[in-house]
Amino acid sequence: MDIDRYFEGNQLNLQNDLLTYRKSIIFRHSTMQALLSFISIFLLSIGCNTADSNPTFDKTNLINSIAVDTLPVKKLKHYDELKYKDKQVLTAASGTKSVIFTASGSKLYAMNLEGMSVYEFDQKSKKITREFKFTPTRGMGWDYNKSRPIASFQEKPVEACFSHDDKILWVSLHNAEGIVPIWVDDFSKNNAVTTKEQKTKPITVLYPGQSKTDSFRVPLIETGKTPKVISRTADSKYLLVSNWHSRNTSVLEMDSNASPYGKVISTIPVSAIPRGIAVDDKNKRSYIAIMGGSSLNVVNNDTWQSDTIMNVWSSPRHIVMDTSGHLFVSYNSLNTIACIDAASGKQLFSAQTHAQPRTIVLSKNHKFIFVTCYTSDYVDVYKINDDNFEKIASLPCGGHPVGVDIYEDDEDLEAWVCSYSGSITIFTFKKKDKD
């Protein structure tokens, strides 16, 4: 609860005094002990009167609300250049399709499409710490080379998204026509029960080198045929899922307090096959890359309906956004990436890549972009200047690289690239300032 709500009317002067004191402590970088001492004295002085006049007064919430405001936020050191250092290759499972780091960067999760599992890697040790293994059931898949349905299995992880402070990992299952939420640490909440109305998927957690296992069921939330990219709003209230063969995008309202933890509230039809999604929380817009066409579908995040169509080049696959209002798009069939002004829809500049650029990711400072190029077996790296992409590296990466995410500390940047053949290549760069 916000601190301002505790003190209204006849307590306004006390509120202003407390806020002034708190600000002075923050600007002077004093210790938390000093602040808590002040609060204790303040609470003792008003305790009896407040208890009678405001029965909902909560001293614990007051202390917590102030403590959160004063916690230091770690920021990475400034850097303008990256210098390639080395690479390391890890073994993953067959058909690794995408990778995603937790916000802290301590763990990476790999979606193994053909392996029908999710690997959890420890960033520091570079080792697999857990495997979330799905139980396979028969289903129909899709042959992308021959453009026809084929016999397959339902439980094939494609893409993923974290919500609620990395507590829930949402995973799209290629042939199950839906997504599943996995509580990665609190297994007690993975307690789905199969009913006529609710489908579930069993998962077994394996611990490499140990005989220990865990098992549970997670709910399957049906979205559409061949779900792909999952993205969310910053407040973890809404989740968007692009459904390839249904040619639409599902919007879910999330609720971490009750299974199945998400409910479809809107289905947005699009003109052709959708894939990438970028959410602009500031301007309450979302952008859906129409890979089967030549446009970005712009969605109003208040109504969760299509707002406008932004015409772009052919086959936009993946899309990300920086904090300055720029969209970055990979054009799969054109071997190109581009920067677009989200407000005007104007394409500002572009660059050629190796064949079939797939996933793109920005560095934490939004000055560099990494591009996986599938059929050419390369990862291209560009510096983002004001009016152009400046290529700084083209790195061979065998096995058809498809997914990428980034870990950074003050000294280095690691690009973890997964290849469909079943490996993860870690490209490490040294951070530098301009001389």
Query: Tokens standing for 317?
Result: 């696959």
pLDDT-based confidence at 74, cuts 50/70/90?
Answer: low
3-class DSSP assignment, residue 215: strand
Asked if residue 358 lies in contact with residue 317, where contact means CB atoms within 8 angstroms, the answer is yes
**CA 66/CA 57 separation, integer angstroms:** 15
Query: Could you give the maximum distance between any two Cα atoms of the chain, in Å?
Result: 77
How far lies 25's CA from each of 3, 12, 188, in Å? 16, 20, 41
User: Would you call 343 exposed, middle or buried from its count of C-beta atoms within 10 A (0-12, 13-18, 19+)?
Assistant: exposed
Q: Is the pLDDT of residue 6 over 80?
A: no
**CA 227/CA 222 separation, integer angstroms:** 9
Question: DSSP letters of 360-424?
Answer: EEE-TTSSEEEEEETTTTEEEEEEE-SS-EEEEEEEE--S-EEEEEEEE-SSEEEEEEEETTTEE
Asked if residue 399 lies in contact with residue 377, where contact means CB atoms within 8 angstroms, the answer is yes
Domain ranges (residues) in the chain: 3-70, 76-95+315-435, 114-273+306-311
Within 8 A by CB and 6+ apart from 285, the residues are 298, 299, 300, 301, 307, 342
- pLDDT for 62 equals 35
Asked if residue 214 lies in contact with residue 187, where contact means CB atoms within 8 angstroms, the answer is yes
Q: Is the pLDDT of residue 149 over 80?
A: yes
Q: Is the pLDDT of residue 136 over 90?
A: yes
Type and span of the H or E element at 163:
strand 157-163
- pLDDT for 435 equals 66
Q: Is the pLDDT of residue 58 over 90?
A: no
How far lies 295's CA from each of 172, 311, 327, 373, in Å? 23, 4, 13, 21
CA dihedral over 150, 152, 155, 156, signed as positive or negative:
negative
User: Would you call 68 exposed, middle or buried from its count of C-beta atoms within 10 A (0-12, 13-18, 19+)?
Assistant: exposed
Q: How many residues does the chain have?
A: 435
Lowest mean pLDDT among 58-72, 77-91, 240-254: 58-72
Q: What is the pLDDT of residues 215-259, one digit of tens each?
A: 999 999 999 999 999 999 999 999 999 999 999 999 999 999 999
CA dihedral over 381, 382, 384, 387, signed as positive or negative:
negative
Q: Is the pLDDT of residue 289 over 90?
A: yes
Q: Residues 153-169: what's their mean pLDDT?
A: 98
Asked if residue 416 lies in contact with residue 105, where contact means CB atoms within 8 angstroms, the answer is no
- pLDDT for 410 equals 95
Phi and psi of 3, rounded to 5°?
Answer: -65, -30
How far lies 271's CA from each of 343, 381, 423, in Å? 22, 32, 35
3-class DSSP assignment, residue 28: helix
CA dihedral over 316, 228, 359, 332, signed as positive or negative:
negative
**CA 336/CA 349 separation, integer angstroms:** 10
Asked if residue 156 lies in contact with residue 116, where contact means CB atoms within 8 angstroms, the answer is yes
Q: What is the pLDDT of residues 310-353, one digit of tens each?
A: 999 999 999 999 999 999 999 999 999 999 999 999 999 999 99
Question: DSSP letters of 50-106?
Answer: HHHH-TT--HHHHHHHHHHHHS----PPP-SEEEEEEEEEEE--TTEEEEEE-TTSS
DSSP 293: T
Question: DSSP letters of 235-259?
Answer: TSSEEEEEETTTTEEEEEEE-TTST
Asked if residue 221 lies in contact with residue 264, where contact means CB atoms within 8 angstroms, the answer is yes
Q: Which CATH architecture has domain 76-95+315-435?
A: 7 Propeller (2.130)
DSSP 202: E
**CA 329/CA 172 separation, integer angstroms:** 22
Q: Is the pLDDT of residue 34 over 80?
A: no
Q: Is the pLDDT of residue 51 over 90?
A: no
**CA 92/CA 106 separation, integer angstroms:** 18
